[in-house]
Structure 1
Amino acid sequence: MELATRKSYMKRRRLIRKFVWGCVLSVFGGFMALSALVIYAYQMEAPSLSVPETTVVYDANGATIGEYHKGEQRYWVPIDHMSESIVEATLAIEDRRFYDHYGFDPIRITRAVIANLQTGTKGQGASTITQQYARNLFLTHDKTWMRKWQEALYALRLELHYSKEEILEGYLNTIYYGHGAYGVEAASLLYFQKNAEDLSYSEAALLAGIPKGPSVYSPYLNEDMSIERQHVVLNAMDDAEYISDAQATKYENEVISFSKDMEIHGTRIAPYFQDAVRMWLIEDLGMDESMIDGGGLDIYTTLDSSMQEKADAIVAEEMAPDHALETAFVAMDPRTGKVKALVGGKNYKESSFNRATQARRHPGSAMKPFLYYAALEHGLSPNSMLKSEETTFVFDEGREEYSPSNFNHSYANDYITMLQALAISDNIYAMKTHFLLGFEDLIHTAKRFGIDSPLKPAPSLALGSVDLGVLEITKSYSPLANGGYVVNPQFVEKVIDRDENVLYEANEEPVLELNPAYTAVMTNMMEGMFEPELSTSYGAVTGGSISESFDRPVAGKSGSTDKDSWMIGYAPQLLTGVWVGYDEAIPLESGDAKHSKQIWAKFMKESLDGELKLTFPIPENVVEVEINPFNGLLANEHCPLTRKTLFFHGTEPTEYCQAPEQGLDETELEETDDKMDEEYKKDEEEKKEKWLDRIFDWSS
């Protein structure tokens, strides 16, 4: 009996020893496995915390005008730019022991297991903030063992490589709050139209309750459930001792005023302009679209929101919404190239086609300033006279003919000055000048002004029979307004990434490409389109209908074809171009053409009201003299009309107006014109040289 008892005792002892050793080995094995896992996780590189973030677009004054994203509103803000209330509310309801665990909470897991066993469901979750953050960054929400294992591994990696503050900041910037809003900043803007750092405790508690079920607890979908969930969060904050019982009761009874429009402010101000900014970032700056949509950039643009508002209102007032007639509009500072306002069409929702940057149309007589600038460089002056009459031009050694006409086939059948020809847009004068200089000369000059489109040498080029962009030709008027400097359109001032690194900052300097003396003379002539006294019996100045709109120096040129209507003009500090026509390039109907000038005049007047009345610069080698604009002679008592006109020094007239009986001899002028016609048939270079000699003699 005693022997049996001893054997039984020894057996139990061996079993206990094996059990103890088994436990020791299990603990050791578990420790080694855990150590290996930690070492393995630590040896892996730190997981990237980068997530797609909304890129914010600002106007010139720093106000938000829009965002670029892929349907997900995300704004990354540092944790110290979040209110204490949202941090505490989130910790209380999501992970009260966040600072006491290493990515997993054994106590919480145990409680969840017991609760689920008692209820027979899997409704009680145990994921920590770190695990949720890992899932948001790297994984799907599938409930599989593989996903759980990956979630655990990523959570461990996050805890090993990042601080608790970095993890909490990342979580609060990536959690989903419903309606496309990711992160507390986007949610604060969405629900309360305020920044996350300005949230009250009652507002923070409401937000913190939404991620458990955005489709259930969104106040937009179920306000009662949202408020009920807010009370749960406030009680959790009370239990966690973030707030007192009295404070919890107070916050529960506070009336919350959340936004009812379900929009974040500034999403689509100036949509055509924002599209132009996006294209510039891609095509000119070489930025990848994924960076624009998800890089969390801050893009500071040149847009003047006040001017844009005026432009939008004027276009809406002037253009009938139910009519197919379309428009495009660009306003910029001619001194810097900064685009202040841009309209690409009447209604962005109906058509996002940006006519200001994408359409290409014939500019008509809006090409003439380039032509007459070239003429000034070749020795002609504002008082140079050519005969306006019905003319057929022969070129290509007699093989080709070209027969342009004036508006309504009206001609002076007399000699007119360049000043007058530009003011009333006489086509015959322009064509004679074009043939005189040679077709290539206009191409070369237009490119110097900034025209980038391909141009072909042809008679019709002087009358604008070439496809140009609205922004392209508008910016090409800048040298006329700024004294000869070519500027490129500038949409963006600065681009900053989420880490405050400056990716781009505008520093382009204007290039002096044209002679300031001749640009000053051209501008002075282009003021003539707004001077009704320069009108003639066969043609009125083209800006007469809007001449009463201004009490300050403005200059410009209109342009028209049977399918297009243009008005491009400027003051020293503002340049605006307007196009009106049909997308299908069909002929304009009666009354269509007037809208381009009306839009231009209204915008310029409203935008410049209250601004300094600047004068156009006049270089020292330019002189101002009073002439008779009809015959180009110096003014005296015999002149029926006088006008102060600029001339390059040495080219101003020296003869005075004569009494009627001592007027210019018509036969002499006829002979001069005949000699010009003969010059057309000679070699181009020889023709230019002989003509310049002749014109200097003739104009002196």
Structure 2
Amino acid sequence: MNIGIRRLKNPFARFIIRFALLIAMAMFAMLVLLYGYAKVMGPPPLKVPVNSTFYGKNNVVIGKSSQTGIRREWVPLEEISPELIEATVAVEDKRFYDHFGFDMKRIFGSALANLKAGAKVEGASTITMQYARNLFLSHEKTWKRKITETLYAIRLELNYSKDEILEGYLNTIYYGHGAYGVEEAAHYYFQKSAKSLTLSEASLLAGIPKGPSHYSPEHSLEKAKHRQETVLEAMSQGGYITEGERERAKTEEIKLNREHEKDKEAAPYFLDAVEEALLNDVNLSPATVEAGGLHVYTTLDPEMQEKAEKWVENTMEDNQELQTAFIAIEPETGAVKALVGGRDYTKSKFNRALQAKRAPGSTFKPLLYYAALEYGFTPSTPLLSEKTTFRFNDGKDTYTPANFENQYANDFITLAQAIALSDNTYAVKTHMLIGQDKLVDTAKKMGITSELSKVPSLALGTEPVTVFDMASAYALLANNGKQAEAHFIEKVTDANGNIIYERKAKPKQVLDEDLSFVTTALLTGMFDPSLNGHTSVTGSSIQHLLTRPMAGKSGTTSTDSWMIGYTPQLVAAVWVGYDKEKKLHNINDTGYAKKIWVNFMEDALKAEPVANFKPTENVIGVRIDPKTGKRATDSCPTSRYAFYVKGSEPNEYCTEHETHTKEQPLPKEEQKKKWWEKLFKRSD
């Protein structure tokens, strides 16, 4: 060849040819070096952040998320419409299966076209090069990125098959509106999977990546259709479709999805809790969670969630300032079935059900009275209900609790009546009698994680706690003292279906099962008018709405309104108040929690059979007079069944309602005995 060059008479021509040869040799040498370097480097990592999918009851999808904020779900090539694959290859890189990452013919053609136009009018990137760029998730125009991208493209071609590269490209390319990859794009634009796309839909979708903001059918259907024609023409020229198919696809009506899944995400507060639980409860590494691709099977019941949100909004719609927290738990399993962390997630992501700590008021009393039963109290234990000042801290401090509207019996009342009427004096007396350590220890045993002060007012729920902890404590009672830890996640699998985590925890007996049942029976008194005394039972305003046995307790402070209650199948806890501990305005504010609770419980369980609270083996039911706590006789105007651990039930019959004529008065010694017992002795 050198002899041929020397024979050229024009020295300039010889120079040009020699220079061109040198450039070609240099480029060849550079390509050899690049391919050698790429081979030594081995296959590049292909893992990109993808969606994790969250499922509720019956494997209904309740949400998707990615730590990067990018919505992407990876699907294998066989689950992508063949028409979409063909359309993409035809319009983006028609010689994809013939080149080694670079299409030299296209590169030179593109350079010539750009030179003629005096501007960049045509690109030369192959599918492999675009995939390499997508793996970086960066499109900065620097030499460093271009060189790295080139190396990645070579490494891809040397280490992966064409189908693997094409699958990666289709799962990483951007289709606009936050949708990365064909699966997300198909759902976003057409509300279907990528494998279900028609030729018309596939050709429209394949045209978007060239300019998502320009060719998105949501931005301009006219421009999208024009781009679709280009795609269909390329498919026709490539032999993928016939002329008839091209014409039919071009004229077919496009039905776009106008209600996007991302706008309808269910239970956002619950999903936030699930993502926290992946790290803290399931103990996945941050890297695993961030990579995504997880399938997370949660405890959420979408129907219950919808009902919870409905009753929160319907009940409180006339006061938009008030906030709320709600949680429903299945006591037998500990599964969290519904959760509301606030009125509007878009305005505040603060989860009041899990993160806020508020004074629970009288909803704390069941914990106290369980401790009292352990100490030796029974439902019939009498204490005096009257205004009382308590001294504590070695007599240095005093505390004077007040009943609602300062109403007192000024007489003895039983524990059963005290809890139903929410008598505060009885509660504090009980607390002081059993010892202030006892309530703190019991609360911790029942799952209260907040720090609690050993003070008389703790009996009235003055120490802040979370709604989650309170619901968990009540679930423990509802399950007869067996603790099934409250949780959000049942199972987690990776993208390939391999099980990463599966919940296998078994409930453990934490409380005495007999005393737990007795406490539950006491909590049914909230809805029993036979326990009315110096005031009405606290559930009287909603008792008419109940269609099944329920146990519960309400609580109110100046800034907080609570209602927690349960059936054997379900526990629900509701808090209502203001974020900044502003005082509740009126009776409506304090009544919201009860209304939300009762309407939700009835609605959530309406398709379930009515379940009764079943007494445990060592418990006995006795018909008693509600006022005295003694066994009822036919003379008693009212009576109700109360439950006792066997051996602690009252044996004495009530004589308070028997009639005595003047000729037959009660003996003086009997009157004295009754007075003595009334003042000092228990009637058990």
Q: TM-score, normalized by length of structure 2?
A: 0.92
Aligned equivalents of 1:155, 1:628: Cα separation in 2 = 86
2:663 matched residue in structure 1: none
Q: Which residue of 1 aligns with 2:552?
A: 556
**2: distance between equivalents of 1:86 and 1:325?**
51
- The one-letter amino acid of 1:552's match is R
Q: Which position in structure 2 is the counterpart of 1:429? A: 426
Q: Distance in 2 between matches of 1:218 and 1:415?
A: 77
Partners of 1:461 and 1:421 in 2: CA distance: 17
Aligned equivalent of 1:300, options 288, 297, 300 = 297
Tell me, yes or no, if the aligned pair for 1:558 and 1:567 is still in contact at 8 Å.
yes
Task: Please give the per-residue CA displacement for 1:81-109, whole angstroms capped at 9, x wherever unaligned.
Answer: 11111111101111112111211122322
The corresponding residue for 1:607 is 604
Task: Give the drift of 1:402.
Answer: 2.1
CA positional deviation for 1:559 = 1.0
For residues 161 and 136 of structure 1, what CA distance do their matches in structure 2 show? Answer: 17
Amino acid at match of 1:519: S
Q: Give how far 1:497 is off.
A: 2.8
The aligned counterpart of 2:71 is: 73
Cα shift at 1:207: 0.5
Q: Counterparts in 2 of 1:340-355, with a 5 A limit?
A: 340-355=337-352
**For the residues of structure 1 that align with 2:135 and 2:325, how far apart are their CA atoms?**
44
Bigger Cα displacement from structure 2, 225-234 vs 646-655: 646-655
In the alignment, the residues of structure 1 paired with residue 202 and residue 117 of structure 2 have an alpha-carbon distance, to the nearest angstrom, of 31
**1:357 corresponds to which residue?**
354
Which of 178, 181, 184 pairs up with 2:179? 181
Aligned to 1:631: 628
Aligned-pair RMSD on alpha carbons? 2.9
The number of residue pairs the alignment matches comes to 670
Q: CA distance change for structure 1 residues 583 and 122 in 2, over 3 Å: closer, same or farther?
A: closer
Aligned twin of 1:655: 652
Provide the C-alpha distance between the structure 1 equivalents of 2:4 and 2:572, rounded to a whole number of angstroms.
105
Q: Is the 8 A contact 1:334 1:574 kept in 2?
A: yes
Give the SS at the match of 1:260.
Answer: coil
1:516 aligns with 2:516: no
Distance in 2 (CA, whole Å) between partners of 1:113 and 1:24 is 20
* CA-to-aligned-CA distance 1:53-74 (integer Å, 9 cap, x gap): 2222222232222232344221
The offset of 1:549, in angstroms, is: 1.3
2:535 paired residue number = 539
In 2 relative to 1, CA 573–20 (structure 1 residues): closer, same or farther, beyond 3 Å?
Answer: same
Q: Are the equivalent residues in 1 in contact too, given 2:677–2:683 (CA < 8 A)? A: no
Moved more, 76-85 or 56-65: 56-65
| Aligned pairs for 1:678-693 within 5 A | none
With over 3 angstroms needed to count, the CA separation of the structure-2 counterparts of 1:425 and 1:174, relative to structure 1, is same
Give me the whole-angstrom Cα distance separating, in 1, the residues matched to 2:448 and 2:15.
Answer: 92
**1:400-439 to 2 correspondences below 5 Å:** 400-439=397-436
Secondary structure in 2 matching 1:551? coil
State the alpha-carbon separation in 2 of the partners of residues 10 and 282 from structure 1. Answer: 71
1:573 matches 2:569: yes
Cα distance change, pair 345–149 in 1 and its aligned pair in 2 (3 A): closer
Residue 567 of structure 1: how far off its partner (Å): 0.7
Give CA-to-partner distance per residue, 1:573-614, whole Å, 9 cap, x none. 110011112222132222211111111111011111120111
Aligned pairs for 1:54-73 within 5 A: 54-69=51-66, 70-73=68-71
Distance 1:452 1:53 in 2: 36
Q: 3-state SS of the aligned residue for 1:566? A: strand
Instruction: Name the SS for the 2:261 alignment partner.
Output: coil
Corresponding residue number in structure 2 for 1:692? none
Q: Distance in 1 between matches of 2:103 and 2:554?
A: 75
2:134 paired with 1:106: no
Structure 1 residues 456 and 660 mapped into 2: Cα distance closer, same or farther (>3 Å)?
farther
CA shift for structure 1 position 240: 1.0
2:234 corresponds in structure 1 to: 236
| 1:585 aligns to 2:569 (yes or no) | no
CA deviations on 1:282-302 (whole Å, 9 max, x unpaired) are 444455666545523222221
Distance 1:342 1:120, change over 3 A: same
Kept in 2: contact 1:130–1:155 (CA 8 A): yes
Q: 2:547, 2:602 within 8 Å by CA — same for their partners in 1?
A: no
* Residues 236 and 246 in structure 2, CA contact (< 8 A), matched pair in contact too: yes
Tell me, yes or no, if the aligned pair for 2:91 and 2:235 is still in contact at 8 Å: yes
- Cα distance, 1:118 vs. partner? 3.9
- Kindly report which structure 2 residues correspond to 1:670-685, keeping only aligned pairs within 5 A, or say none: 671=676
How do 1:70-219 and structure 2 match up within 5 A?
70-138=68-136, 140-142=138-140, 147-219=145-217
Match of 1:377 in 2: 374
1:547-569 CA-partner distances (Å, limit 9, x unpaired): 11122111011111122111100
Distance 1:89 1:18, change over 3 A: closer
Deviation at 1:348, TM superposition (A): 2.3
- The one-character-per-residue Cα deviations of 1:244-276 (angstroms, maximum 9, x if unpaired) are 111111111111111235x33565322222222
With normalisation by structure 1, the TM-score equals 0.90
Whole-angstrom CA distance in 2 between matches of 1:392 and 1:266: 56
CA distance in 2, matches of 1:371, 1:258: 59
Q: Does 1:699 align with 2:683?
A: yes
One-letter code aligned to 2:683? S
In the aligned structure 1, how far is the partner of 2:321 from the partner of 2:670?
53
Report if aligned partners of 1:68, 1:293 keep a CA contact under 8 Å in 2. no
Contact 1:53 1:73 in 2 (8 A): yes
Q: Answer yes or no: is the 8 Å Cα contact 1:333–1:340 preserved in 2.
A: yes
Which piece of structure 1 moves more, 653-662 or 189-198?
653-662
17-26 vs 263-272, greater mean Cα deviation:
17-26
Query: 488, 493, 497: which is aligned to 1:491?
Result: 488
What secondary structure is seen at the aligned counterpart in 1 of 2:349? coil
User: Deviations along 1:204-242, whole A, 9 cap, x unmatched?
Assistant: 000000111112111111111100110111111111111
Quote how far apart the aligned CAs of 1:148 are.
3.9
Secondary structure at the aligned position of 1:572 is classed as coil
For structure 2, which runs of at least 5 residues remain unmatched after alignment? 661-665
Contact in 1 for aligned 2:203/2:232 (Cα 8 Å): yes
Q: CA deviation at 1:12?
A: 4.6
Q: Distance in 1 between matches of 2:499 and 2:347?
A: 36
Would you say the 8 A contact 2:452–2:463 is kept in 1? Answer: yes
Q: Distance in 1 between matches of 2:163 and 2:410?
A: 85
Deviates more, 1:398-407 or 1:186-195: 398-407
- Aligned partners of 1:55 and 1:293 also within 8 Å: no
Q: Distance in 1 between matches of 2:21 and 2:351?
A: 75
CA separation of 1:361 and 1:145: change in aligned 2, threshold 3 A? closer
Partners of 2:602 and 2:393 in 1: how far apart? 47
Letter of the 1:617 counterpart: K
Letter in 2 for 1:240: G
Structure 1, gaps ≥5 residues long? 1-7, 676-694
CA gap of 1:341–1:224, structure 2 versus 1, over 3 A, is same
Against the structure 1 CA distance between its residues 147 and 365, is the aligned structure 2 distance closer, same or farther, given a 3 Å change threshold?
closer
Report if the CA contact (8 A) 1:319-1:346 is conserved. no
Change in Cα spacing, 1:355 to 1:223, as seen in structure 2 (3 Å) is same
1-structure distance, mates of 2:560, 2:432: 25
Identity of aligned residues (%): 47
